[in-house]
Amino acid sequence: MAYKDLVPVGTGLIIAATSFGLGVVYSNSAYDYNTLWKYDAEGFARSLAHYSNWANAPMRIHHILHFVIFLGLSGCFIKLYKPLDDSKYFEYGTLGLMMVGIVIYLTNLRIGVNSCITGQWGEVDQNTGINVMAASQFLIVIALLGVLILQAGLYYAEWYDEKIKREFLEKEAAEAKEAEVQPEAASTGVETRSKAKSKAKKRTA
């Protein structure tokens, strides 16, 4: 299997992992909305209970998310193994945005869900800590949407470049075919005139 055959696999892994991450954030948005975007005193209690359940979930549940993150990074490294000069900045940007989302998850979210259990929020109170988690997930959404935009932009750029090349080759082929037809037509015309002259000479004789 050639390397170019693995590039679509890398793209698929990136898109799948990004979509999964957006789905995880979306599942939390019902709780974050009533704390970050709309103040609701009961919303903080519901968010605390939700994130406490998340923290107390079996580790295999957390490892599923970590495995998906690993797949997304694997996709990035597959595409960065031999990047093209025209697309390498798309790939570097994709990896960078994905790392931003991962760092926010490991620092703010993982620490935040543990604080939901221990009750130790550091220098902030509980409600502020819950809102920090909600705001962090909003930043993760921005980073992951940036990943999808970069991959969509790369796909369009490659498609458009391929379209231009195909049109150029078709135009060259048409011009070459036309150039072959013109000498044949010219030679046919010369032969016709020569035959006409020979017939005229015979009639005169």
Mind listing the pLDDT tens digit for each residue in 122-162? 888 999 999 999 999 999 999 999 999 999 999 998 888 88
Is there a contact between 114 and 54 (Cβ–Cβ < 8 Å)?
Answer: no
Helix (H) or strand (E) segment spanning residue 120: none
Is there a contact between 151 and 90 (Cβ–Cβ < 8 Å)?
Answer: yes
| Residue 196: per-residue pLDDT | 53
What confidence tens digit (pLDDT) does each residue in 98-116 have?
Answer: 999 999 999 999 999 999 9
Provide φ and ψ at 91, rounded to 5°.
-70, -40
Sign of the CA dihedral running 150, 154, 156, 157: positive
The closest alpha carbon to 107, from 127, 137, 77, belongs to: 137
Burial of 65 (0-12, 13-18, 19+ CB in 10 A): middle
From CA 53, how far away is CA 57, in angstroms rounded? 6
From CA 23, how far away is CA 164, in angstroms rounded? 37
From CA 35, how far away is CA 69, in angstroms rounded? 27
How far, rounded to the nearest angstrom, does the alpha carbon of residue 182 sit from its chain's CA centroid? 49
Q: Whole-model pTM?
A: 0.80
* Low pLDDT (below 70) residues in the chain: 182-205
From CA 32, how far away is CA 35, in angstroms rounded? 5
| Residue 205: per-residue pLDDT | 55
